[in-house]
Structure 1
Amino acid sequence: MAIDSSKKKKKKLKRASVFQNSSSFMASSSTVSSCFIRNRRITILSVSLIVSVIVIFYISSIAIKKMKFEEVISSQISSIEVVNEFPHDPNAFTQGLLYGGNDTFFESTGVYGRSSVRKVALHTGKVEVLQKMDDSYFGEGLTLLGERLFQVTWLKKIGFVYDRYNLSKFEEFTHEMRDGWGLATDGEVLFGSDGSSTLYKLSPHTFKVIEKATVKYKDFEVHNLNELEYINGEVWANVWSSDCIARISPKDGIVLGWILLPNLRNHLFQAGNVGIDVLNGIAWDSEKNRIFVTGKLWPKLYEIKLHPIREPFHGSIERHCLRRRAFGFAEP
């Protein structure tokens, strides 16, 4: 009986040991499984966080680049402040304008039978010296190089050279542009326009084309380039039939910026000057860094300052500056 009892005790202890080992194994397996699941969740969470950070950084970088791009684009567009107003001959169909020093201007006017080259006093608008052109010529762009004034004419490849002091005519020349619209100089070459999108570089000695560039803004060609002025390494051009001035790189013809001036003409209209024509005429006083503008048949000449438009520009340069509009006269 004692032997049987001992055997039973051994069997019970063996079963208990097996049960405990089994329970221990199951507990261990459960612990490993829990750790694995927890680690997996942590890994997934970490990866998700990393991906989220990358996505946020990417979106932010795009937004920053867009903001910077918009800031650059808007800073290329300028409005103006009128610093001074001066009287201007309301019968002058202004085609070329330049500052001659000592508060005087040289001006070329158009219209058959009324075309002229003149020296004008800034503060009074009085014409001090006048050289009337032959009735068969329509005066256009004008520039000063050394002691000589250069002028081109509309619809002809003929130009004239005048003495800057008494406006006596030196000589007649022919050029290779399609037509004569605007002239300017950097002191070495002549820049010319013919109403197209081409900016010409001309020799002041032979008047042959040295180089030419197509003027472009983004992917748009800028046509109707009219009166020109060379200012601080840029060629500024009135865009005919618009209230805009294009600031052009003379190296490649790329438009570096725009100046919007619609308020000038609107102000003149509101004051009862209904007979005025388009904005045309840019002059620069390099000594005092003054910029002057006027228009055809305008009774005022304005000294202006530029103010870059920093806020987003609500409008379209294409609509404001590149669409052709007419205001009475068909001549450029």
Structure 2
Amino acid sequence: MAAKKRVTSRRPPKLKPDGDGGGGGGGVASPMPHSQRPYSGYRRRIALLLPAFLLLFVVGFASVYWNRSGSFVVDEVSPALYSIEVVREFPHDPQAFTQGLLYGGNDTLFESTGLHGQSSVRKVALQSGKVEAMQNMDRSYFGEGLTLLDERLFQVTWLQKTGFIYDRNNLSKFEEFTHEMQDGWGLATDGKILFGSDGTSTLYQIDPHNFRVIDKQVVRYRTHEVHNLNELEYINGEIWANIWQSDCIARISYKDGKVIGWILLPNLRQGLLTAGYKGIDVLNGIAWDSEEKRLFVTGKLWPNLYEIQLHPVERRFDDGVIEQLCLRMPFNF
């Protein structure tokens, strides 16, 4: 069986003045003596005001540019771009097909793993990577996103609209629910509502009591829909999302779906490949320690979990790096 997230990456297709700006013509008149030129003072005022008009023009149209095909395009403020620095490396179970990850306090992680017959919910010690408790799932389920709200762990499953709720203390499963997303991929919470992804470009807001969708936004980067939203994390009022089949994390405004930042992490996977870990899968898993302000990431079948810091990257406006590294065509399963 071809497991989810083992499909070859595809790149999206690349995105694809006229007129006479002159005024009216006329004949050339004989010059008038200086004393007879009624508009000389007007010209001086125009000369003084011209720089101000030019400044207003630049400010007012700073968001307008010509794209490569010559089309007139209105640009919004470019999202921020970040590289990463590895602060620390921690052991991670290389057999864990990580689908959901979160920080539970006291150097403890909770993790949801996938693959039929191997799916589970786990309590993991951060420092050692040791699995301290585990709830195996029925072979018919493929575990996906996981989040913690109050004392309950919420989990969704792939290709089904079924989810489960577990006790965070002993991982006992005590409730099953049905959600309204097209599929189950990622989950996160702000402590009040659930945020969900289903592998499309839609970010859902879900009532944790009845699991109905109370709002949803299509996630966009400039004019592109951002497909394949995967594992989610709520961080400082934003939703951070792994983009499946990429080494990118999108920082999303859940209020309007706009991407407000991109985090580029290709060096992590490449470093593992260079070190000889040929069996690893894609980057997936974001966990945020809100008290110590620590950010953790890992991937499917990765032997390491990383604590990272972000560093802003300067770039040209239309360099195309995000289109190449982060945007993918939608997949249908």
TM-score, with structure 2 as normaliser: 0.79
The answer on whether the counterparts of 1:74 and 1:310 sit within 8 Å (CA) in structure 2 is no
The equivalent residue for 1:315 is 320
- Tell me: CA distance 1:323–1:124, structure 2 relative to 1, closer, same or farther (3 Å): same
Q: Is the 8 A contact 1:161 1:169 kept in 2?
A: yes
Contact map agreement 1:242 1:325 (CA 8 A) in 2: no
| Residues 1-332 of structure 1 mapped to structure 2, 5 A cutoff | 37-38=33-34, 47=43, 73=77, 76-312=80-316, 314-324=319-329
Count residues with an aligned counterpart.
293
DSSP-derived class of the 1:125 partner: coil
Tell me the distance in 2 between the aligned counterparts of 1:297 and 1:178. Answer: 26
Distance (Å, rounded) in 1 between the aligned partners of 2:289 and 2:237: 14
Name the CA distance, whole Å, in 2 between partners of 1:253 and 1:75. 13
Tell which structure's C-alpha radius of gyration is larger: 1
Q: Answer with 154-163 or 303-312: which moved more.
A: 303-312
Amino acid at match of 1:299: P
> Which runs of no fewer than 5 residues in structure 1 stay unpaired?
1-34
Of Structure 1 and Structure 2, the greater helix share is in 1
Task: Find the counterpart in structure 2 of residue 30 from structure 1.
Answer: none
**CA offsets 1:18-74 (integer angstroms, 9 cap, x no match):** xxxxxxxxxxxxxxxxx9635579976993x7666666555555556777999x945
Note the alpha carbon deviations across 1:205-240, whole angstroms, 9 max, x for none: 111111211111222211111100011111111111
Q: Which runs of 5+ in 2 are unaligned?
A: 1-30, 66-75
Question: 2:33 is aligned with what amino acid?
Answer: I
Deviation at 1:109, TM superposition (A): 0.3
Cα deviations by residue, 1:57-109 (Å, 9 ceiling, x for unpaired): 55555556777999x94561222121111111111110000001011100000
Task: Tell me, in whole angstroms, the C-alpha distance in 1 between the residues paired with 2:276 and 2:36.
Answer: 81
Offset at 1:264? 1.2
Q: How far apart are the structure 2 equivalents of 1:213 and 1:179?
A: 16
Structure 1 residue 319 displacement after superposition: 2.2
| 2:33 aligned counterpart, secondary structure | helix
Query: What is the alpha-carbon distance in structure 2 between the residues aligned to residue 39 and residue 261 of structure 1?
Result: 72
Q: Confirm or deny: 8 A CA contact 1:197 1:225 kept in the other structure.
A: yes
Q: Is residue 241–residue 324 contact of structure 1 (8 Å, CA) maintained in 2? A: no
Structure 1 pair 265/66, CA: closer, same or farther in 2 (3 Å)? Answer: farther
- Distance in 1, matches of 2:117 and 2:40, equals 86
- Deviation track 1:173-196 (CA, whole Å, cap 9, x = no partner) reads 111111100001111111111001
Q: Name the SS of the counterpart of 1:245 in structure 2.
A: strand
Q: Distance in 2 between matches of 1:318 and 1:276?
A: 24
Change (3 A) 1:222 1:325: closer
Answer whether contact 2:79 2:262 (CA < 8 A) is retained: no
Backbone CA RMSD of aligned residues: 2.9
For residues 128 and 233 of structure 1, the distance between their equivalents in structure 2, rounded to whole angstroms, comes to: 31
